[in-house]
Structure 1
Amino acid sequence: MNDLDFLSTVPPWDALPPEDLAALTSAFETCNFQSGQRIYTFGDRLDGLYVIRSGRVQVVDEAGAPLSTLGPQNTFGERGLMRDGRAATTATATAETTLLLLPAGRFRALIDADEGLRGFFARARPQKGSRPPSLAETRVATLMSRSPATCPPETTVAEAARMMRDRRISSIMVVGEAGLMGIITIRDITSRVVADDVDLGQPVTAAMTPDPVSLPPDAIGSDVLHAMMERGIGHVPIVGTEGLLGIVTQTDLTRFQADSSALLVGDVASAPDVAALALVTERIPRLLAQLVGTGNRHEVVTRLVTDIADAVTRRLLALGEAQLGAPPVPYLWLACGSQGRQEQTGVSDQDNCLFLSDDVRPEHDGWFAELARFVSEGLDRCGYVFCPGDMMATNPRWRQPVRVWRQYFAGWVARPDPMAQMLASVMFDLRPIGGDYSLHAGLQAETLAAAARNSIFVAHMVSNSLKHAPPLGLLRGLATLRSGEHRNHIDLKMSGVVPVVDLGRVYALRGELTAVNTRARLDAARATGIISESGGRDLLDAYDLIAQTRLEHQARQVREGGMPNNYLRPGALSEFERSHLRDAFVVVRRMQSAATQGRGVV
């Protein structure tokens, strides 16, 4: 991938018009650093803005405290450049690293001339949640394993040992009528029973550690670590007023500290096969819960989670090419849906397609069909389940030369029937993931321009955006689902997030805005006057609340040992939270009504 193709995947450069990005790319300089080599030191005069092409960089503050570990596509140095031109941090390469450097003078000229870029970098200053979470910021409720294995005091040592073996665990809590009595671990059995040749038929109370050190659920991760270090233990029960709630082990702490989006991306990049990739993606729900639990905003969490999906897709493409050989003609793999918008959460299916060079011949389709099968099946094994609507590159309809894709878009715009509306809605969210990025260059702007000129098409898109209504009931209540598995719940995706996603797409169409991410679309629509300043602010606030509530719901499910979904029981919220969520839905409905009248003023 050349520098132009690379930068077209990196915010905020990915939002620039193709001709502007091409001109800017030539200004970037390539810099190479060895592992351990200092890039700059706190107080140094900065050479410019850095974008990581490959490798890894650690950023620390003036006192040497870690702020972030950055990987490919991350940008750094903007804080000092926006202030006085001197480094506000210290940056060191922790692996062989290639950086793209935009000289300081060019960077300043760029942000002086572009308010959008200036706002982006002003918001990008390090703040809480912009770095991997620390134990000192994390409550044990995020770390602990819930429903730990327990046994009554009369259980024999042999029975406890078999329980640990069968469940592949290292400890069991001994619980009596009065609550937690003790803990027995594999180390206890080794040192107190086997080493001393003690009868395995004796009660577990003879080998357990009685009255173990425990912590309350409002303790923080560093409390656990300090307790373990001070007392030489590897298991800390978490006990509240209602009794035993969970347990934190050394393995939990190690796993927590090992999981960051940058580390997961690094593990993805080095995975030798699909099975190894699936082991990495198993860690995503835990990462999501950690990111939410340490105060990250929804757009940060979903971007980081999507970055992992992008890396998985590119790794599968590389593994597929290694297995099938070189592609017969250039191709481009694109994602649509939530991955295309960089809004993936803990629940994601796959929506993708293939653009093929117009030089492709019929005999080449076998190669691309095999590549699509390999990648889609690999994504499914990694937790990105098959699209129920078959919007995947495995479907020949979505694996076509660029000229056919142009015909698709032209036909959907010219004949906006319901199916065309649905397909156009999906395809307006397309984002290149891997391959020859030039195959997509110009197509989005070309299609937006044609669609915006067709008033009938725009009207149909607005009508289509109203199919998903916010869950508002009578008498200031929330309307819940009336039947099915999720009866008495609200669907935070289809009734919450999707109505705003649809509005963002309409605004992008009306303003020919190239942003694909929903929040970026809303921001751009407000900045360009597509919607009013006040309406835009209200809608952004409403979207933030709905999307954040959805993520916090999923994170809570993960922490409780369940699988994340989009269905929230209103009773799980406080009256205060329900009131604010309803107010957010009212804003969305109001903006939907304004959209039908061709205005954004509310």
Structure 2
Amino acid sequence: MPLPVHLRQFLASVHPYDSLSEADVDALAEVCEARDFTPGETVFAVGDTATSLYIIASGEVDVTDETGVQISILGPRNSFGERALLRGEDASRTVTPTQDTTLIVMPAETLFALIDAHAPVARFFDRRRPPRTDQKDLTTLPVEQLMTRDPMTCAPETPIRSAAGEMHAKRISSICVSDAGGFRGIVTLRDMNGKVVAEGVDPAAPVSAIMTDQPLTLGPQALVTDVLHLMVERGIGHVPIVEGADLVGIVTQTDLTRAQAMSSADLVGRVAKAADAAEMSRGTAQIPDLLVQLVEAGNRHEVVTRLITDIADTATRRLLALAEAALGPPPVPYLWLACGSQGRQEQTGVSDQDNCLILSDDVTEAQMPYFADLAKYVSQGLDTCGYFYCPGDMMATNPRWCQPLRVWREYFRGWIATPNPEAQMLASVMFDLRPIGGDCSLFEDLQQKTLAEASKNSIFTAHMIANSLKHQPPLGLLRGLATIRSGEHRNQLDLKHNGVVPVVDLGRVYTLQGQLSPVNTRARLEAAQKAGVLSASGGADLLHAYDLIATMRLEHQVTQIKAGDKPNNYLDPATLSDFERSHLRDAFVVVKTMQSAVGSGKGALG
């Protein structure tokens, strides 16, 4: 079968070889060879000595691991074989064409020479997530990342009194004036005081009578430092941001102060001192902005999610204190625990509630209504703060999850003894329990005893492993990436359920196998590697894969927040570069491989 295009032209169109000079591409084409394969013909098999890199020019290949489990189906412009080459190992996969296929075969020594001589090629084949070095100072950020979008506006004919009422109700220091022709001007508290109070302008007059006409403005691509310089030089406290004739935002001195001071500690402090859930929600409403700031400052994903989760923990403890103040002191000791992403300290810009209550065994039936009211108070407060109710009702407001310690012990014993599908689901969630507020002695030995008992039950362990394989990485289509086929998120990847969750599930299995205490997923993987549950190479691969998937998920949410959209977990792979798509696919392949190892009963040490 002839190549669909000339060999040199083909290589010049494939990343990362498209970064090479014409002379280097010519030299590469001279040493590469095009080979044809028929369906079912083995390209290489598990245990073969790795000698070449393969690039698919046309056709399709099936990739399976040593157990025969399919890892992925690869189409044109994808490559394979580099894993074994770069590690100096024999092949750990079998590759078989599913149709007539033409492969470009690159000798190993050529690949190594390219990696040594060309940084873009080296970066492409470094499957680790590179550390972020683009630390950004506030003053160098584009103003569109800081401005308040959709600021309060009114028409020029609006009465001054009405505009003042709006400003007072919204607790803002300015209101912009716009009409059908676009942005007209701005009225600030200084205008109200100086022209209405001091000079006696009639409050019934239109705001156009006191507004600053054609004020100084900037475009959304200006830097924050431009705003600072303008404010200092001209002595103003408000800078409208316009694009053409349209008002798109505003930056005030308060915005600058808040952004400069905003940190997770600042939000934690505000939430911890809030008088009620409504006041608390004004702090938690800034979590998306904090997420943007933390990610763009180059923080690692586990640091970002830990800091975001700390705010939820603080909100929960503050609501518990407010509930006790409203309901009176608790009749017996209790412990509020988080599970799910909050329990694992992995919250992002999209979070629901997953929580429960463990009560002292001294609790009586007559005292149970107190804790029902406590749970309702806290859960409603969390919902007000943006932590929406759990769709599966995994909350302390459900009487099933508000029980004495003895009942919780029976729950875990029952789930381990009878590992049906529901028990597996509940056990998986409950393995992520983490105390938030109350008497921690109620949880001191529950987790460790449960892990020890569960790890001894081979049937439970087998069911736990099977449960961990329900969420599969999205491999198979679209250059190796299988997108959602229908519905609202058609042609997108679910970076939560098909990206992060498979690794979270593997982390739980390793925790069970090694009776490990960490709850955070990355900490679990590191502990499993240290304890020998995960091999050094397998653990390193899985950590790198998890880092890339989790980081890409956060970066996707940041992009949405900056665009003024609500963050979610659905990514269109068409928005990724070939480089990003290839690395994401490789990360999914690693996760699939580790799932296959666990599912085959070989663990992750083979």
Q: Quick check: TM above 0.5?
A: yes
1:573 & 1:373 partners in 2: Cα distance? 43
1:515 & 1:382 partners in 2: Cα distance? 28
Task: Work out whether residues 138 and 294 of structure 1, in 8 Å CA contact, stay in contact via their aligned partners in 2.
Answer: no
Q: 1:398 aligns with which of 397, 401, 410?
A: 401
2:582 & 2:340 partners in 1: Cα distance? 30
1:111 is aligned to none
1:192 & 1:272 partners in 2: Cα distance? 34
Could you say what secondary structure the match of 1:184 adopts? strand
The CA deviation at 1:215 is 5.2
Matched, 1:217 2:221: yes
The CA deviation at 1:344 is 0.9
Q: 2:231 aligns with which of 220, 228, 232?
A: 228
Matched, 1:278 2:284: no
2:395 & 2:406 partners in 1: Cα distance? 19
2:203 & 2:265 partners in 1: Cα distance? 49
Alpha-carbon displacement from aligned partner over 1:325-358 (angstroms, at most 9, x marks no partner): 2222211111100110011111111111111112
* Residue identity opposite 1:556 in structure 2: T
2:126 is aligned to none
* Residue identity opposite 2:186 in structure 1: I
Could you say what secondary structure the match of 1:593 adopts? helix
1:380 & 1:240 partners in 2: Cα distance? 36
1:444 & 1:568 partners in 2: Cα distance? 36
Could you say what secondary structure the match of 1:563 adopts? coil
Q: 1:554 aligns with which of 543, 557, 575?
A: 557
Matched, 1:336 2:336: no
Could you say what secondary structure the match of 1:600 adopts? coil
Matched, 1:599 2:603: yes
1:190 & 1:479 partners in 2: Cα distance? 59
Alpha-carbon displacement from aligned partner over 1:19-73 (angstroms, at most 9, x marks no partner): xxxxxxxxxxxxxxxxxxxxxxxxxxxxxxxxxxxxxxxxxxxxxxxxxxxxxxx
Matched, 1:385 2:383: no
Q: 2:188 aligns with which of 175, 186, 189?
A: 186
Q: 1:356 aligns with which of 332, 356, 359?
A: 359
Aligned length: 468
Q: What runs of 5+ residues in structure 1 fail to find an aligned partner? A: 1-126
Task: Work out whether residues 495 and 569 of structure 2, in 8 Å CA contact, stay in contact via their aligned partners in 1.
Answer: yes
2:590 & 2:140 partners in 1: Cα distance? 33
The CA deviation at 1:199 is 13
**Superposition pairs of residues 446-461 of structure 1, within 5 angstroms:** 446-461=449-464
- What is the RMSD of the two structures over their aligned residues, measured on CA atoms? 3.3
Task: Work out whether residues 358 and 402 of structure 1, in 8 Å CA contact, stay in contact via their aligned partners in 2.
Answer: yes
Change (3 A) 1:129 1:307: farther
Task: Work out whether residues 228 and 234 of structure 1, in 8 Å CA contact, stay in contact via their aligned partners in 2.
Answer: yes
2:532 & 2:235 partners in 1: Cα distance? 62
Change (3 A) 1:218 1:518: farther
Deviates more, 1:192-201 or 1:442-451: 192-201
The CA deviation at 1:467 is 0.8
Change (3 A) 1:204 1:336: same
Could you say what secondary structure the match of 2:590 adopts? helix
The CA deviation at 1:141 is 3.1
1:601 & 1:160 partners in 2: Cα distance? 74
2:554 & 2:209 partners in 1: Cα distance? 43
**Superposition pairs of residues 355-434 of structure 1, within 5 angstroms:** 355-434=358-437
Could you say what secondary structure the match of 1:588 adopts? helix
1:572 & 1:144 partners in 2: Cα distance? 25
TM-score, length basis structure 2? 0.70
1:346 & 1:423 partners in 2: Cα distance? 24
2:146 & 2:351 partners in 1: Cα distance? 24
Change (3 A) 1:378 1:198: closer
2:118 is aligned to none
Deviates more, 1:222-231 or 1:241-250: 241-250
2:99 is aligned to none
Q: 2:348 aligns with which of 321, 345, 348?
A: 345
Deviates more, 1:316-325 or 1:229-238: 229-238
The CA deviation at 1:296 is 1.8
**Superposition pairs of residues 138-287 of structure 1, within 5 angstroms:** 138-146=141-149, 156=156, 158=158, 170-172=174-176, 183-186=185-188, 208-210=212-214, 212-214=216-218, 217=221, 219=223, 221-238=224-241, 246-287=249-290
Alpha-carbon displacement from aligned partner over 1:426-469 (angstroms, at most 9, x marks no partner): 00000011111111011111111111111221111111111111
Change (3 A) 1:521 1:211: same
2:437 & 2:201 partners in 1: Cα distance? 61
* Residue identity opposite 1:497 in structure 2: V
2:183 & 2:326 partners in 1: Cα distance? 56
2:245 & 2:542 partners in 1: Cα distance? 41
Task: Work out whether residues 137 and 294 of structure 1, in 8 Å CA contact, stay in contact via their aligned partners in 2.
Answer: no
Q: What runs of 5+ residues in structure 2 fail to find an aligned partner? A: 1-131
2:377 & 2:153 partners in 1: Cα distance? 43
The CA deviation at 1:200 is 10
2:409 & 2:194 partners in 1: Cα distance? 74
* Residue identity opposite 1:328 in structure 2: P
Change (3 A) 1:342 1:492: same
Percent identity between the aligned chains?
61
Q: 2:521 aligns with which of 513, 518, 521?
A: 518
**Superposition pairs of residues 531-550 of structure 1, within 5 angstroms:** 531-550=534-553
**Superposition pairs of residues 92-131 of structure 1, within 5 angstroms:** none
1:199 & 1:166 partners in 2: Cα distance? 14
Matched, 1:576 2:595: no
The CA deviation at 1:396 is 1.6
1:31 is aligned to none
TM-score, length basis structure 1? 0.70
Task: Work out whether residues 183 and 245 of structure 2, in 8 Å CA contact, stay in contact via their aligned partners in 1.
Answer: no
Higher relative contact order (CA 8 A, sep 6+): 2
**Superposition pairs of residues 40-119 of structure 1, within 5 angstroms:** none
Could you say what secondary structure the match of 1:353 adopts? strand
* Residue identity opposite 2:519 in structure 1: V
The CA deviation at 1:185 is 3.7
Q: 1:509 aligns with which of 509, 512, 525?
A: 512
Deviates more, 1:415-424 or 1:230-239: 230-239
The CA deviation at 1:190 is 5.1
2:502 is aligned to 499
Matched, 1:297 2:300: yes
1:61 is aligned to none
The CA deviation at 1:420 is 0.7
Change (3 A) 1:200 1:268: closer
Matched, 1:437 2:440: yes
Could you say what secondary structure the match of 2:437 adopts? strand
1:374 & 1:298 partners in 2: Cα distance? 32
Could you say what secondary structure the match of 1:367 adopts? helix
2:188 & 2:273 partners in 1: Cα distance? 34
Deviates more, 1:183-192 or 1:391-400: 183-192
2:544 & 2:248 partners in 1: Cα distance? 35
Could you say what secondary structure the match of 1:537 adopts? helix
Alpha-carbon displacement from aligned partner over 1:190-215 (angstroms, at most 9, x marks no partner): 59986596999999699655483525
* Residue identity opposite 2:604 in structure 1: G
